[in-house]
Homo-oligomer: A and B are copies of this chain.
Amino acid sequence: MKHTYEYPRAALTVDCVVFGFDSGAAGLQVLLIRRGLEPFKDHWALPGGFVRLEETLDTAARRELEEETGLKDLFLEQLYTFGTVNRDPRERVVSVAYYALTKPVAHTTAASTDAAEARWFPVSDIPALAFDHAEIFTAALTLLRSKLTYQPVGFELLPPKFTLTQLQRLYESVLGTDIDKRNFRKKVLSHDLLIPLKEQHREGPHRPAQLFRFDPVKYERLKKKGFLFEI
């Protein structure tokens, strides 16, 4: 079925920059898919696709993410809309970019899904990307860094139970700085957002670490207030 309009129209897509975090050496990761079709066939690209007329932009982003990577129910926010004239060699395409944060548990789920070839790459070493996706990725990383310093979004990247050291590694990895351990713990705990669990995390020949979870109610309140979470 054909659709006809008085004036020419741009195609509208969504693209998602999905961040994951590995407390080990790998650090901050981004999820890419390999394109199966031209243009940029076999190139790596951000997951995304066309917006349908009956769905909102957010819905489209979530749908495409699930279709292409198997990930769902993740933290997702609009980033910026990219609309230069020749972004896509075929025709005018305007893309609403999103960034998403996901917990390690979801990671493995995604990796085992083979609906499409999807792979995690460390942000410090990503391959050449299709279209203007490198630019979108850079914008997302910049936003994540900035966001991390004034909103408590970091928890979205950690498993439900985590240690303070894991949280600190996350901040250090994303921001690319070293943080003083004592100052970090003081600051983080002062927000009264973390709930200590009865469990401990045991790993290796050393003292086990206290596990925490964050209080989702206080978390939502802080996010809306634009509360400063600077480290």
A5-B3, A83-B96, A146-B226 given as contacts; is B53 within 8 A of A10 (CB)?
yes
Q: Which one, A20-28, A54-62, A109-117, A192-200, is touching chain B? A: A54-62
Interface residue A35 (Cβ < 8 Å from any Cβ of B) = no
A80 within 8 A of B: yes
Say whether, besides A12-B9, A78-B80, A83-B51, A94 and B3 are in contact (CB < 8 Å): no
How many copies of the shown chain assemble into the complex?
A: 2
A81 within 8 A of B: yes
- Interface band, chain A: 20 to 34
Bound: A56/B85 CA distance, A: 6
Closest to A80 in B: B78
Select which of B9, B56, B85 is within 8 A of A55 by beta carbon: B85
Interface residue? A90 (CB, 8 A): no
**A128 shortest CB reach to chain B, Å:** 24
Interface string of A78-119 (1 = CB under 8 A from B): 101101110000001010100000000000000000000000
What 20 new A-B contacts, CB under 8 Å, besides A58-B83, A81-B96? A3-B4, A3-B5, A3-B6, A3-B7, A3-B8, A3-B9, A9-B10, A10-B51, A12-B12, A51-B83, A51-B94, A53-B92, A54-B85, A56-B84, A56-B85, A57-B81, A78-B80, A78-B81, A83-B96, A94-B96
Chain A positions near chain B (C-beta within 8 angstroms) = 2-12, 50-51, 53-58, 78, 80-81, 83-85, 92, 94, 96, 146, 226
List 7 interface pairs A-B (beta carbons < 8 Å), by A numbering.
Answer: A3-B5, A3-B8, A5-B5, A9-B12, A12-B94, A57-B81, A146-B226
